[in-house]
Structure formats: structure tokens, C-alpha cells
Amino acid sequence: MAPIDAAVRTALNATSLLSPSLAGRAAFALFCRPLRRSRVRSAELDVHARAATEELAVNGKRVVAYRWGDGTRPVLLLHGWRSRASRFADWIPRLLDLGYSPVGFDAPGHGDSEGRGTTILEYRELIGRLQDRYGHFEGVVAHSFGVLCAFHALRTGVTAERLVALSGVSDFTFVVDGFCAGLGVNDRIRRELVRRIERELFPGTPDPLRVFDAGRAPGEVPLPILVVHDEQDDVVPHGQARRLQAAYGERLRLLTTRGLGHRRIVAEPTVVDNAVGFLAEPAPAGVPAPAPAPAR
């Protein structure tokens, strides 16, 4: 734990003895905000510059969206927490060569978009906007927190042929528990944090920790899934991938890597090769065509 984290932990835990509500409010503010914004890396500059950009808006925040190609056969790219769309730069040429049009966005509080943070519901709104514009997705490729958002979107009306989940969070409870464990806060603060998440981030959504569980009701996400996860991932443990495998059974293919960690896995050539090959596979025999996305 870094010294600044230790100071925050001490202050929050001490405050919770006098006012759990005040300590929970401070923890909630930290929970909602990425601590830093990712910049476009030098290796990503060329691909990033070739994207066609547009502006979307969600909850009053300007969001930058990207498209490579002419928009036909769209493949949706969803970045994770403290990341951005340009992290998929190694995927773009491969997808374009196969006739796909990669599309994505920098979530609020990330990359070049406005805001201080984002939620699963904002991801869902933005994904829906891109589906309205480009139509049924040929595939969805998501990383980390984006995986949780992808499952929620696919369960609530967004349609796609296939899903690739990289180093994915499958359990929203893990997000909360991982945050609390990383910061070292006590149970009083955790309980208050959960109350604030339910009341302020997801008003009207009963039991969001269960509702946003990617392993819940697997029949509501009826498409082939490739999960790629490193067994030494120290951010999202490999057990999150095994949860998905247990839930989705034979429809899910699990590829376990070693030595790539949580972030290097996105650009690893062998991972990209396997994932792009998976997206390009013909539909399994007997699988009906997906219904059109509902009007929004």
C-alpha cells in the first residue's frame, strides 16, 4: 500500500468511529472516481489519429466516441477502469482487414471525455447509442470493468454475435470488496459505501450487487463467449473467469494465459490472434439470427 493510501485508510477508519456516514461519503467519492486519466501511448498514436470521432452525451457529460472503417459490421470495444479506447490499437488493423468496423468510446471520466467518473448504467446508455447508430454488433470485445458492463448491456437489449471478455470482472460485489480491501477500510465503511452505491448510483434498482452480476441468468446472454484471463492477474483474480465458466458452461471458452498480468493481456499478439479468430468463426449450427435491437 502506498503512503497516501495508508494515510487515507487511517483517516477514514478513524472518522468512521465518530461518523460512519461521513467516512462512507468520503469512501464513496473515491470509489466513483478514477485516480488518474490514461493518455494515448506513443504506440497507439497512429491508430488513434485515424479514427473518425463524434461526440455523445450522457448525464450532461460530453463523451468522445471513435469509429474505424465505414461503420458496417461493427465490433464494439469496451475499455476498463482508468483506461481508454486507444488501448485496443493492436486490434484495429486486424479487425479492419476482416471487414469489421471497430467502434468504441472513452467513458465519462476517462480518456478525452468529460466527467469525474462513470457507472455501468452510463456504459449501457452509450453502448445503446452506438447500436442505434451502427446496428447489430458482429462482436463485443471488453476488458476488465468493461466486461461487467458488456454483460449488463447484452442482458438488457443490446445484441451481438459474440463476446470476448479480457481479464473481466464478473461479480459486482468483487468491485466493492476489492476497493475496500485495497484501501484497507473497516466493515462500518463498507456497509455505508454499499448503501450509498445503491441509493446514489442506482436509485430504483433493487440489490444492484446481484443485478449486475455477469454470471446471473446466463440464458439472458445467449451467444458464444471467449474469456481470456491470466492466472497471475493481481487486479482481477482468475477466479472471476472461473465463475463465468461455471455459469455459462459449454457456450464459454476459457483461455488461460501466464505472465501477462491484467493489462499486457490486451495487446498480447497471441491473445489478439485467438480472439479475432474467435470473432470470425461462423455461427454455430442451429443458432437463430438475433432479434433486432429494440427502439430506444
Residues 93 and 78 grouped into a single domain: yes
Q: Most distant CA pair in the chain: distance in Å? A: 62
Residues 192 and 103 grouped into a single domain: no
Residues 27 and 86 grouped into a single domain: no
Within a domain: 293: no
Residues 109 and 179 grouped into a single domain: no
Residues 158 and 192 grouped into a single domain: no
Task: For residue 168, give the nearest of 215, 229, 81 by alpha carbon.
Answer: 229
pLDDT: is 282 or 296 the higher one?
282
Within a domain: 86: yes
Q: Provide the pLDDT for residue 292.
A: 47
Q: Provide the pLDDT for residue 133.
A: 97
Q: Tell the residue number behind the cell numbers 476489492, with chain if given.
A: 178
Rounded Cα gap, residues 80 and 68, in angstroms: 20
Within a domain: 292: no
Within a domain: 288: no
CA angle 132, 48, 228 (to 5 degrees): 75
Chain length of the chain = 296
Residues 265 and 162 grouped into a single domain: yes
Residues 143 and 20 grouped into a single domain: no
Within a domain: 294: no
pLDDT per residue as tens digits for the range 118-173: 999 999 999 999 999 999 999 999 999 999 999 999 999 999 999 999 999 999 99
pLDDT per residue as tens digits for the range 212-233: 999 999 999 999 999 999 999 9
Q: Identity (one letter) of the amino acid at 93?
A: P
- Order of strands across the sheet that contains 252-257: 52-58, 61-67, 101-105, 74-78, 139-143, 163-166, 225-230, 252-257
Percent of the chain with pLDDT over 70: 92
pLDDT per residue as tens digits for the range 32-72: 888 788 999 999 999 999 999 999 999 999 999 999 999 99
CATH of the domain at 257: 3.40.50.1820
pLDDT per residue as tens digits for the range 13-28: 777 766 778 877 888 8
Number of structural domains (the chain) is 2
Residues 53 and 187 grouped into a single domain: no
Q: Provide the pLDDT for residue 295.
A: 41
Within a domain: 238: yes
Instruction: List the beta strands (DSSP E) in the chain.
Output: 52-58, 61-67, 74-78, 101-105, 139-143, 163-166, 225-230, 252-257
Q: Identity (one letter) of the amino acid at 158?
A: V
Q: How confident is the model at residue 181 (pLDDT cuts 50, 70, 90)?
A: confident
Q: Provide the pLDDT for residue 284.
A: 67
Averaged pLDDT score across all residues of the chain: 90
Residues 68 and 204 grouped into a single domain: no
Q: How confident is the model at residue 294 (pLDDT cuts 50, 70, 90)?
A: very low
Residues 139 and 222 grouped into a single domain: yes
Residues 74 and 199 grouped into a single domain: no
Which residue range forms the structural domain that includes residue 9? 1-32+172-212
